Amino acid sequence: MAATDELPIIKLGPEDAMAGLVLSTEARWNQTEEDWRVFLREGVVFGIRTGILLVATAALLPYSGNNAWISMVLVTAGHRRRGLATRLVDACLETARKNGLTSWLDATPDGVAVYGPLGFTPTLQLRRLKLAKSTQAAPAPPAATLDALRARDCRATGFDRTALLTAFAQRSGSRIVATRGSIGLIRDGRTARHIGPLFADNAAEALGLVQAIARSETGPLLIDALAPQAAFLDGMTASGWIIERPFQRMRFGPATTQAEELPFAVAGPEFG
């Protein structure tokens, strides 16, 4: 038995938010301490320690309708390729199974090779885009209400994510904005502001809102767009956004809901 097989899996608590942030920062992810506190407060986060050092994590975040999101699957560089991530994802899946939950995740290309053999099946693809901003800022687009965002989010995902969206909206620096038939949320990240979720009646309206947001911001921006929204993606890249990486959305278990519309951007691969 390898030494890492003997390391117990533990459940993390609120006091572990900063230790989790160390792991996601090492991986150059965009999460903040507040993001970690969402997982620790609303879901369950499994971890593995060597002594007092947190070396691996995975989180299960429940949503409504018997659904849950698996994310924050992180292993520090010196402990990779030892099976820790698989053990932690198995712990998430076992917890989901006991609670009758269908599990979802957004995987990197490397992650697809790991999650496929575990029984996850692909659904749709995402594209992460980044825009490096100048220091010129224009007035922000009109503000919208949390209730309006929640209603649109529920139609597009089939999930009630009131707790998540409320946590986002209550953060310092967060904004919910809308123009015509589009609405979206902007929040702080560790290295860049993040746009999403984003909903619109068509690609032109979605592009218009993103362009208005970009004109009102002074730093780098990230957005996780749905690949099937091809006209939106084309418009984004034509206006200077660069595709950084793809994600593959995957599901473990039966489909539980039917969305009424397709969003243009999601809350992030860690949140869905």
- The token pair at 57 is 């994590």
- Is 131 in the same domain as 119? no
- Domain assignment of residue 107, yes or no: yes
- Domain assignment of residue 212, yes or no: yes
- Is 87 in the same domain as 140? no
- Is 145 in the same domain as 112? no
User: What CATH number does the domain containing 113 carry?
Assistant: 3.40.630.30
Instruction: Look at the chain and report how many structural domains it folds into.
Output: 2
Smallest CA-to-CA distance from 171 within 153, 187, 194, 184 is with 187
* 130 vs 180: which has the higher pLDDT: 130
Whole-number Å distance between alpha carbons of 205 and 210: 9
User: How far apart, in Å, are the Cα atoms of 172 and each of 167, 179, 186, 188?
Assistant: 10, 22, 11, 8
- Domain assignment of residue 235, yes or no: yes
The pLDDT score that the predictor gives to residue 134 is: 66
Q: Does residue 1 register a pLDDT over 70?
A: no
Q: Does residue 4 register a pLDDT over 80?
A: no
- Is 30 in the same domain as 9? yes
The pLDDT score that the predictor gives to residue 88 is: 96
Share of the chain above pLDDT 90, in %: 88
Predicted confidence (pLDDT) per residue in 19-59, tens digit: 999 999 999 999 999 999 999 999 999 999 999 999 999 99
The pLDDT score that the predictor gives to residue 113 is: 86
Predicted confidence (pLDDT) per residue in 191-245, tens digit: 999 999 999 999 999 999 999 999 999 999 999 999 999 999 999 999 999 999 9
The pLDDT score that the predictor gives to residue 142 is: 94
User: Where does a domain end: 123, 143, 170?
Assistant: 123
Q: Does residue 135 register a pLDDT over 70?
A: no
Q: Count of alpha carbons within 13 Å of 254, Cβ hemisphere only?
A: 5
Calculate mean pLDDT across residues 162-177: 97
- Is 104 in the same domain as 17? yes
- Is 103 in the same domain as 28? yes
Q: pLDDT averaged over the chain? A: 94
- Is 166 in the same domain as 117? no
User: Where does a domain end: 90, 123, 156?
Assistant: 123
Contact criterion met (CB below 8 Å) for 244 and 129: yes
pLDDT confidence bin for 257, thresholds 50/70/90 = confident
- Is 141 in the same domain as 243? yes
Phi-psi region of 130 (alpha: psi -120 to 50; beta: other; left: phi over 0): beta
Smallest CA-to-CA distance from 7 within 114, 97, 85 is with 85
Element (H, E) at 116: helix 109-118
User: Where does a domain end: 123, 158, 178?
Assistant: 123
- Residue 14: how many other CB atoms lie within 10 Å: 10
Cβ burial of 87 (10 Å; 0-12, 13-18, 19+) is middle
Whole-number Å distance between alpha carbons of 120 and 66: 17
Calculate mean pLDDT across residues 137-156: 93
The pLDDT score that the predictor gives to residue 114 is: 85
Calculate mean pLDDT across residues 152-166: 94
User: What CATH number does the domain containing 173 carry?
Assistant: 3.40.630.90
Q: For residue 212, give the amino acid letter.
A: A
Predicted confidence (pLDDT) per residue in 88-127, tens digit: 999 999 999 999 999 999 999 988 988 999 999 999 999 9
Residue 33's domain comprises 3-123
- The token pair at 17 is 């938010």
Q: Does residue 267 register a pLDDT over 90?
A: yes
